[in-house]
Each structure stands twice: as structure tokens, then as C-alpha cells.
Amino acid sequence: MNDNIADLVDSRTGRQSRSIYASEDIYRQELERIFGRCWLFLVHTSQIPKPGDYFRTFMGEDDVIVIRQKDGSIKAFLNSCTHRGNRICRADRGNARAFTCNYHGWSFSPDGALAGVPLESEAYFGELDRTKFGLIPVTKVAEYKGLVFGCWDANSPSLDDYLGDAKFFLDVWLDAMPGGSALLGETQKMVLGTNWKLPVENVCGDGYHLGWAHAGAMAAVQSMDLTGLSVGNSGVDLDGGLSVAGMNGHMVLSALDGVSGYAFYPDPKPILEYLEANRQTVIDRLGEVRGRQVWGAQVNITIFPNLQLLPGLNWFRVYHPKGPTQIEQWTWAMAENDMPEAVKAQILENQCLTFGLAGLFDNDDGDNLTACTEQSRGWRTAQMDVYTNMALGRSGKREGFPGDIASGLVSEHNQRYFYRRWQEHMMAETWAEVPTYNINSLTDEEAEHA
Amino acid sequence: MLDRPLAPPPVEVIVAVTQALHREARLLDNEDLDGWLAMLGKDVSYRLELKSRRFRADRSPPFPLGPGVIFNEDLGRLKMRVDRLKSGFVWAEDPPNYIRRAVSNVEVLATRADNEVRVHSVLGMHRNRIDGTTRLLTAGRTDLWRSEGSAWLLAAREIVLDHSVLPDSNLNAFF
Ligand code: FES
Ligand SMILES: [Fe+2]
């Protein structure tokens, strides 16, 4: 299989074999080597604030339940009964003192312990060792400033090392203001007939599609100039933004104007006032570059493999694979806790308007991703390649930023790094074989004074 | 003031409002979006809230800012959506998708206001998309219709969508 994987992607030329979007064999290997190995986003701490609060999600195709404990810590378990395997929790979220299986009535406490077994003495003759039948815990659970991740691989790097230099950009949301961050609203769930890599590729680096695929929405709602992009792809300015990659497979697109994240708000005024009122605080906390140029700008952050967040547009999204050609896309609105309630409400409202289930922008992407997937399933198309070869070799260091950086939001630089990371994981038998790289890393001091 | 049960609306009103629902569905099916906008009151509210699947006995409180929405539109926002659809740039609608709406379970109820009725209905929406697949979306609707001059106009609509995961790649369509 590894020889085969070596042929499927060539990040020097930007080539991908279309079979990676449709092959069942490749997908099974992804479940093992990517979703079974990487740190995967589980929940934001704001979504399960109180003891007993739980949230159901997926790690790859494995159904998982994440539970806030009595002591405030967070644990995660397979959502599967240890008796005969039934799903124990069928709700999306809530608060519970115990989880009782519908099949034979075993019940589990929030810490995963098997707390009750019907007819334990009569039918099991008291011989069942309950300690051996607790819920199966996710191997590692860790938090980075409100974002809770889980990982099945005991030999993975720490979450901190896994995120690496992407933290420089994550902090622009998570740590810009002293109150931290939160996700808002119920989960916006949609089924898409796409391979999971295509939406990740789209958001991680594809500024190219914005002016064309979203021309209708841009014409209808754009309230200000979004740096470097124009409706109908009629022009592009590469000076106002960056495509940042080379950070352990994580990628960032960032405008540098400090406001354009809100370019798709019909009424951006209250939010622009919040930004300007707090600009100095953020500069003091994160330095000039991030405080003045990045905070408030259009920023797309991708955490490998399946998490994407766009501070500014304020949507936060996970893609759960459901076979090689299907996903469930889950979206929430993101806010800073220091925002006035009215601003948070406006963010939730606007996120739903632009990138919700009837989102003016979001509704343009689904069919393109689906069709790219379908056009990889034919006898002939499956033998073909596709390319992300825009602006090959035009990247380097930029003062004040970590990463290998290409100029502008329109480039295919980030996508090449995404597929490179995909290939690195797919070829590695164990974590020890997966390379770690944070290209052009900044020292703490450089980051602060940037 | 004592609440007395309201008498049912006159048969002519029930017929007129039911006909308005059918006409509305036909205009939308035919993509006569301006004709549809003309059936809306100036103060129209058009809403579809998000929800989650919860245990009946769940004790967790509602979110302080609410669940979020799929639609929370006034007339200006609906016009903006229509402008987008008419921009000629919405590639997902060209060639057109085949959409057919069936309105059913119509109940027309009186309100305290003489010129307004509360209307419950069920909408089934068949979408045969350009991608070759067909989806059937169903939704419940609770409306307020108001008579203005000779016409009945939609003043408010609360939609409840019967899908916990949207089984389609867009909602470029009105319920
Ligand atoms: S499968 Fe859960 S109690 Fe038997
Ligand atoms: Fe897009």
C-alpha cells in the first residue's frame, strides 16, 4: 500500500490522484492512520459548562460522547455499551446523571464506570467484574484554551506539540481578549456527498474560488472591500493577505487589514466598534502584527485533519467522514466572551445567514465539492490526476509570522501542504515515522514584539 | 378580560387563505420570486430555528442567545436572498432544479384581530437536483396571514424542519 500512497500525491508538482477521493481502500487506511492517530476536535468547553453536561460527536466514524465531570475535568468515551455494543446515548447533547443502555439496562455513570447491571446477582450470580466493563475511554483528551481534542494513539505528540505554530494563529481567537472564546447555538448539520478532503482543501487555501463560486452572494451582501478579491474573479491583489503553511499540516489564510472578517456582515458597524474599542488590549496581549493586522481580518485556520475555524466570519466547523464519498458537516458560530451580548447575537445571526444551512455563501460550495467527488468515481476519472499547482515555489519567510508563506489569499500553496501532510500520515506505520516541522518558527520574544 | 373561545373564521376566509397557500407554492415552484415577494406583508417575519435531539427528561437550560436559525428574515433579507438567486451567478440553480411543493393539513384559525388568521400547514418539498439525486424535505409551518385590501398577505411564518441533519447540499429554496 505504501508504494501506492507515494504515487498518489506529489506535493512538488501539486498533483493528486483522483482515486484518493473515492477509493474504499484508501478511506479505510485514512480511518486508521489519520482519524485513528491525529488529535481530533471534540468539543469547546463552553458547550459543556456544568458537571453532567455531555455532547455527542464522532472521531472518524466512531461515535463518541464527551462528558463534563464532577471535578470540572472532561472525559470522552466510545458511545457504545460494553455488554453487546449498543449505542448508549441517542441524544445530541444534554445533561445526565447516568447513561442507561436501552437494550438490557446496563447503566454507566458520567466517569464511565459501570454503575448498574439488572439481575446482577440473579443472572450473573454476582460473578461479573464490573470494573472490567466501564465505558471505553478515548486514549487521550486534552484542552488548548477552550478547544478540547481527543486522540486514540498513545504515542502521539502532546496536543501542544501537535498544534505547533498554528497556536500563533489560534490565539488570535482563543486568547485575543482576556475572557476567552465560546461557541454559540445548536449544531448546524448537513450531509454532503463529498470526500472529506475536498471541503478541507477548499477552506484551507482556496481563496481562488471566492470571487467566482460565491459571486452571487458577494454581489448581494458584501458591505466592504474584502482585501484582494473581487466579484467574478475580475482582479486580484496579492499584497493584502498571506497563505501560511508548513506548520505540522495546519494551514492559515489571513488578510492583514484587521477588519475584513466582517466584510460579509450587512451591518458591520457594532462589530467594528467592538474591534476598535478593544484593539489596544489585543495589541498589548498579542503584539502589533496579530493585534492590528490579523485580529478582525478574514482568517481561515485549518487544524489537520478536519477542523476549520474562521475568526471574523466567525464560523467553526468539523467534517465527519461517512465513507469515502460522504460527510456530515457540523458548524457553529464563534464569539469572544468579552463581546457585548448584542454583538454575540449579531454574530450568531450573521454566521447563520452566510455560512449556515441556508447560508448565502455556504450554499454555493456543496454542489462543487460533491461533483468533484463524483467525477473521481468513474472508471476513467479514477485513473486521472488533479493539480493544485498555482504559484508553485513562490513562498518563503515573512517578517513577524511563522510558517512557509505565499503572498495573497489566491494561491494553492496551502493545499499542497495539506496533501503533503495527508501523504506523510498515510505512509507512516506509527507516529514515530511522521515528521514534525514548524517552518520559520518564531521565538517567544519575536512573537511578542512582532 | 375573559378569554372566550373564538368562533371559526367564515368559510370564504378559509377558502381564500387556503387558496393563497396553494398560489404561494405555485409561484415558488415556477420561480416567480417577485410574485412571491408581493404576497408578503411589509413587516413579514420568516423564521426557521435550529434544534437538537434531546432526551425528553433532559434538564439542561436553553442557550442564552437561543439555538440559532436557518432563516430569520424580514422583507429586506428575503429580497437580498432573491437578489442573490436572480444574480445569474448562483451556479447551483442553473440549469434549474426541479422543485415541487405540496401543501397539506391546512387549518385556518381565527385570532383576536378581525383581519388576521393563524394558519397551520404542512409542506412537502420534492427537489430533484442537478446532481441527479432527489430529496424530499418536509416541514411544519405556523403562519399569520393578514387581509389587506382584496389580498391575503403573509405576515409571519414559523417553520419547523423535520430533519436533524439537512439531507441536501443547500437550501436555495423557500418553505
Ligand atoms: S447491549 Fe447494553 S445492556 Fe446489553
Ligand atoms: Fe466557499
Ligand 1 pocket test, candidate residues A101, A107, A108, A120, most atoms within 8 A of CB: A101
Nearest CA in chain A to B171: A358
Percent of chain B with pLDDT over 90: 90
Query: With 80 as the cut, is the pLDDT of residue A221 above it?
Result: no
B172 lies in some domain: no
Residue B32 zone, left/alpha/beta (φ > 0; ψ -120 to 50; rest): beta
Q: Which residues line ligand 1 (CB under 6 A)?
A: A 81, 83-84, 86, 101, 103-106
Domain membership flag for residue B142: yes
pLDDT at A1 over 70: no
Task: Please count the structural domains in chain B.
Answer: 1
At A234, the pLDDT band (50, 70, 90 cuts) reads low
Percentage of chain A beyond pLDDT 70 is 95
| B25 part of a folded domain | yes
Q: Across-strand partners of A192?
A: A327
* Global confidence as pTM: 0.96
Residue B84 lies in a domain: yes
State yes or no: is A104 an active-site residue. yes
Q: In chain B, what percentage of residues exceed pLDDT 70? A: 98
Find the CATH number of the domain harbouring B153: 3.10.450.50
Task: Find where cell 398577505 sits.
Answer: B153
Which residue range(s) make up the domain with B105? Answer: 11-52+67-161
Q: What is the mean pLDDT of residues B96-103?
A: 97
Write down the architecture of domain A40-142 according to CATH. Answer: 3-layer Sandwich (2.102)
Q: What is the pLDDT of residues B28-84, one digit of tens each?
A: 999 999 999 999 999 999 999 999 999 999 988 999 999 999 999 999 999 999 999
Q: Is A192 on the interface with B (CB under 8 A)?
A: yes
The ligand with the least distance to the CA atom of A214 is 2
Which pLDDT score, from 0 to 100, does residue A235 have?
Answer: 62
* ipTM score for this prediction: 0.95
Nearest to A202 by CA among A365, A41, A34, A351: A365
Domain residue spans in chain A?
A: 40-142, 165-449
Yes or no: say if B121 and B103 are a contact pair by the CB < 8 Å rule.
yes
Condensed to tens digits (0 to 9), the pLDDT of residues A47-75 reads 999 999 999 999 999 999 999 999 999 99
pLDDT at A183: 98
Query: Which chain A residues in 293-332 lie under 8 Å from chain B, judged by CB atoms?
Result: 328
Paired with B48 in beta bridges are B71, B159
φ/ψ of residue A213, rounded to 5: -60, -35
Closest of A140, A382, A172, A123 to residue A290, by C-alpha: A172
Q: What is the mean pLDDT of residues A213-218?
A: 88
Considering only CA atoms, which of A101, A89, A82, A106 is closest in space to residue A52? A89
CB < 8 Å to B85, chain A: 216
Q: What is the model's pLDDT at position A2?
A: 67
Does position A231 have pLDDT exceeding 80, yes or no?
Answer: no
Is B167 inside any structural domain?
A: no
- The superfamily (CATH) of domain A165-449 is Naphthalene 1,2-dioxygenase Alpha Subunit; Chain A, domain 1 (3.90.380.10)
d(CA A216, ligand 2 centre) in Å:
12
> Whose alpha carbon is nearest atom 3 of ligand 1?
A104
Q: Is residue B143 part of a domain?
A: yes
**What confidence tens digit (pLDDT) does each residue in A102-145 have?**
999 999 999 999 999 999 999 999 999 999 999 999 999 999 99
Task: Inform me whether the pLDDT recorded for B1 exceeds 70.
Answer: no
Query: With left for phi above 0 and alpha for psi between -120 and 50, is residue B174 left, alpha or beta?
Result: beta
Q: How many helices (H) and strands (E) does chain B have?
A: 3, 6
Nearest to A266 by CA among B78, B51, B47: B78
pLDDT mean over A217-239: 64
Catalytic residue among A53, A165, A175, A214: A214
Summary mean pLDDT of chain A: 94
